[in-house]
Structure 1
């Protein structure tokens, strides 16, 4: 269901303890509440659990204790996943598929307008590479394709893990423009060591190891 205002966007984390190895939690007793239309800058040093927070919000890392909800739904449910987007820091592409085919596939999965995705890709400088295989892309172009794929269609919440890493300054500015626009319309959690000039956050959230 389309929600133009995205006013009910929410990520709720309650008393969460989670990790990857039994007996060695990465996050212990974490509680956090992010609601409404806002751009939240998530900060923390190495090992603080920023990537673990991303995976909690994705619903693919179940907490050992506590709950994670997206818009009032368990983060691991298909219903919750359809209302949020996750852009991890490490791209995962099919080496022999073209840039265009990646966008077509991701658009179908997100039930999004393919042309809108292609327009965004072109805006980020990918037009000369649309019919090239992903394995031929530079690191920067790979990351730009991944960012577009992960943020297609209509969504209430988006979590972005270091979206500016490895891309050229002109594209950094264009991505920052998109993120600013999203922050005025929906809920954005942004993990980034530094902020580009002109990117103003609504709030910040600190994770401590």
Structure 2
């Protein structure tokens, strides 16, 4: 199986020796999605993504082809938009006054409200895994960036048993819906492209982890 090659993580940490290159690539994509969802990217970040190589995918694997196409679209978006344009869009979508246009939280997508049972269940799982929210991060743990960061950490520490369980319980039920909604917003340009990329990556992850979205 030919796995699309991910760019280097934006803030790489030392990977455990047991992590295979393909898993390091997966961790890199999770870290990238988490970074871009949690804050507006800097000019350097946009430049680094735009200069990253295109992905090569096995044409016999539809999920790999879709991921490669979505990655190339994200590269083009990073090249065509300025730091200021993306910053304004991020603020309008996720941090505007009043109710933001997008609420990328598991609790919202699964219950219609924030800070509900899915968040409590996620916190229980994080405690079992020995993970906790980073100091200074005021976002609830069920933010899309937060669950992507958890998957990145599970991959980097080589915890293959926990990865499919975590993804199936805390991501699969809602992340595709979140990406679809974000992609459809007329006010989203850069983040619509990111949403398409994230959705394609999650489809690829479903294959890697052994089940369909």
TM-score range, shorter chain: 0.3 to 0.5
Higher-strand-fraction structure: 1
TM-score, length-scaled by structure 2: 0.34
TM-score, length-scaled by structure 1: 0.34
Higher relative contact order (CA 8 A, sep 6+): 1
Higher-helix-fraction structure: 2
